[in-house]
Structure 1
Amino acid sequence: MVEKLFLRGAGWNLLNANDETPACVLQRRGLTRTKLWDAMVDAGVRAEILLRKLNDPNIEFLDSDGLESEPESEPEAEDDVEIEVEEVKVDDSQEPELENTAQPNSNLIEEDPSSMPEVYLKTKLEYKDGALVTDRGDGVMMDWENGLMAAGCDSLFKGSNPSKTVLNIGFGMGIIDTMIQERSPANHYICEAHPDVLAKLKQDGWYSKPGVHILEGRWQDTLPELLSKNVFFDGIYYDTYSEHYEDMLELFDLVVGLLTEDGVFSFFNGLGADRLVVYEVYRKLVEIDLANYGLELTYTEINAPTGTLEEKDETDETVWNGIKRAYWRCPVYYHPEARFK
């Protein structure tokens, strides 16, 4: 029944009154890791791939006979067309909801640094209580990620070359970079764009550490120059804030040019991690996309810290106390490692 519903256009990510997708209902009922759950995830993957194809400007649409559609005939003259306009009454007692209608200079909607890189880079950051937060309380990076960063560091030092040259994109709190330094790499590149984080790097003496190279600016601007200089990496790690999967697809173009033959690419895998079914969909999408670049992706499952799963974020047990929005709600972390096939 579920398969037939999806084939007839049912939405895998539709929400009910409790902000639940169909898969969220399965999760609440303990029905993950079942055929029903797999059907939900597969439907999400199909929908995302189809949407991407539909947005491809190079796609050609065919008519029902499999032939390119003929140009539409010229419309009738305006005087020969009758247009019936139905009067629509507007209820002034209720303010209409805004959806993607804010102009760039509008003051009606607060610009969100978590989804707009240009806003994030102008947002004031503060290091406090084992976290890096924005001035409005968004969590950029937190101490609970230590175990996940350790897994990322281990991945960067795999491979046959004993003298490692590694790259970390996004310094944040410097968790993984501190771990990298303990391994004494031959060269340690750090790419960071936020001025407050760059000030922290200078304050803590990172600019003068042996073998450390600081790339000031967004990776979109700094990494192509390394590519032109034939700089290659045994390990590349990616963990930025406010960027999206579309940015990662652009990064993959550079990774395949910067990575050594037996190098490892990894990243903080928080794609859709505030909802388990979305996290599972992205798990498959990344695997499909990296395969197109000749990279084979494997995952290691790590139990997420229990404090990230507390339903009430005001309690002492949760790591989200004082954080505006939880960016992690999944019981398992899929640690990624990508290598050339």
Structure 2
Amino acid sequence: MSSLHSLLALDSRPIDESYISELKRLLKSGIPATYTLEQAAAHEAGQEDPEGPEFNTTPLHILVRSLPDDVSDQESKTVLEMMEVLFEYGAGWNFLDFEGKSVGDILWDRRMREGNILYERVVEAGVSAELLLRKLGELMPQPSVEEETGDGEASNRDAAENQETYLNSDLEYTDSALVTKDNRDGVMMDWETDIMRLARDSMFKYGDTSSETGPVVCNIGFGMGIIDTFIQERSPAKHYICEAHPAVLARMRQEGWYDRPGVVVLEGRWQDTLSALLDAGNVFFDAIYYDTFSEHYSDMLDLYDTVVGLLKPEGVFSFFNGLGADRPVCYDVYRRIVEMDLRDYGLKCSFEPVQLSQLPSWKDVRRPYFACETYYHPEIRFA
């Protein structure tokens, strides 16, 4: 263990200014703020690099793990200053330690969560890092398909990560889920039912009540049809459904969705079908909901451009909020990012916390896509 790691073990109390002074001295001496316990152990063993699994138990991990259970408010402020110094010297917010936990995970596990100054600082660091990475991505040339795969074959890519691959994948409807047949990726699952009911309620909360026929709504991504079934219970004037996967479209036709009064099925990617509506300029929505598979937050940023052109002034936009939901701290980071991005479009986002009555079961699904006990339901309207 290096002198930096020993300092951050917080062996003596109180945690006061002397810790900050010594931390600055050690970092100025050249010890990296990212110097891990694993690197220190390898150095002591005469090795150039750590052996075994790749862990990154950083100074920040040691600091938050070493916090006393009875840490005082003043000591917390001192620790916050120490975190600031470490971030200033290049510490990362999302490295995973020997237990596979990030700094935010450790604070969360210790019940230091939203509203705690240390947890909030980690979330702030996460937001800054994600926005910086996005900006760097915009400045970097994007790789071609051939560069990504080596041979240009979309079939070699992950259906959960690449939409072209997904749209060419076989799907399977089970009793409780829609999955990709080969990889068992969960496209949609029935544990989302309560979330879809809540989303439907939001869609009809702010509609044009002066209309004799009812609101005009749009759902992007049919999947298992859960939210669309709930929408039909409210008898909207028009119910647009955007869906791109051929197997899902075939299922919709088989179940009679094409023949339902007021239902308009927009076949193809929403990027094409909604852009056509926007160009035509004769359809506007009281509510828009978005829940697709194999798309990313960059796709949502493009969607925001479309939403502001198609949403009525009193309308509402919402989406299935699984952004960063593999870890609570990442989930909190993306909530802040969504709020910031939507503000740039003149939209205000409010999140309603919902305790999940049915926790997801990932049996027969390759990997989980939601690992939080609380779901944050978004309602987005013009500010």
Deviations 1:213-258 (A, max 9, x none): 0000000110011112221000000000000000000000000000
Q: Secondary structure of 1:18's match?
A: coil
The aligned counterpart of 1:78 is none
Aligned Cα RMSD in Å?
Answer: 1.8
1-structure distance, mates of 2:148, 2:252: 39
Give the Cα separation in 1 of the matches to 2:151 and 2:295. Answer: 19
Percent identity at matched positions?
A: 54
Pairing partner for 1:172 from 209, 218, 223: 223
Instruction: Give the superposition deviation at 1:194.
Output: 0.3
Other-structure match for 1:61: none
- TM-score of the two chains, using structure 1 as the length reference: 0.81
Deviating 4+ runs (over 4 angstroms): none
User: For residues 136-175 of structure 1, what are the alpha-carbon distances to aligned partners after superposition, in whole Å with 9 as ceiling and x for unaligned?
Assistant: 2111101100111011101111225122000000000000
Contact map agreement 2:359 2:373 (CA 8 A) in 1: no
Q: Which one of the candidate residues 124, 127, 135 is aligned to 2:170?
A: 124
2:98 is the counterpart of 1:17: yes
Q: Secondary structure at the match of 1:335?
A: strand
Matching of residues 71-220 of structure 1 within 5 Å:
102-105=149-152, 110-135=156-181, 136-162=183-209, 163-220=214-271
Residue-by-residue CA offset, 1:175-212 (whole Å, 9 max, x unaligned): 00000000000000000000000000000000000000
Structure 1's 169 and 31: CA in aligned 2 closer, same or farther, altered over 3 A?
Answer: same
* Counterpart position of 2:12: none
Letter in 2 for 1:131: A
Match of 1:277 among 288, 310, 329: 329
Alpha-carbon deviation of 1:25?
A: 1.6
Question: For the structure 1 residues 29 and 110, does the alpha-carbon distance in structure 2 shift closer, same or farther, using more than 3 Å as the test?
Answer: farther
Q: Secondary structure at the match of 2:380?
A: strand
Structure 1 gaps, min length 5: 59-99, 309-318
CA contact (8 A) 1:144 1:305 kept: no
The AA in structure 1 aligned to 2:305 is: D
- Residue-by-residue CA offset, 1:244-303 (whole Å, 9 max, x unaligned): 000000000000000000000000000011111111110000000000000000010001
What letter is aligned with 2:196? M
Does residue 325 (structure 1) correspond to residue 325 (structure 2)? The answer is: no
Q: 1: distance between equivalents of 2:381 and 2:267?
A: 27
Aligned ranges 1:268-307 → 2 under 5 Å: 268-307=320-359
1:158/1:263 contact within 8 Å kept: no
Greater helix share, structure number: 2
What is the identity, as a one-letter code, of the residue corresponding to 1:168?
N
Q: TM-score, normalised by structure 2?
A: 0.73
Contact 1:121 / 1:194 at 8 angstroms: preserved in 2?
yes
List runs of 5+ in structure 2 lacking aligned partners: 1-81, 141-146
Aligned residues between the structures: 289
Corresponding residue for 1:89? Answer: none
- Aligned counterparts of 1:106 and 1:259: Cα–Cα separation in 2: 38
The letter of the residue matching 2:365 is I
SS of 2:359's equivalent in the other structure is helix
Q: Equivalents in 1 of 2:207, 2:192: separation in Å? A: 28
1:339 matched to which residue of 2?
381
Aligned residue in 1 for 2:21: none
Residues of 2 paired with 1:56 and 1:116: CA distance? 19
Amino acid at match of 2:279: S
In 2, distance between residues paired with 1:236 and 1:306?
A: 25
1:49 shift after superposition? 1.7
Matches of residues 20-99 of structure 1 in structure 2 within 5 Å? Answer: 20-33=101-114, 34-57=116-139
How many angstroms apart in 1 are the aligned matches of 2:188 and 2:344?
31
Alignment-mate amino acid for residue 166 of structure 2 = Y
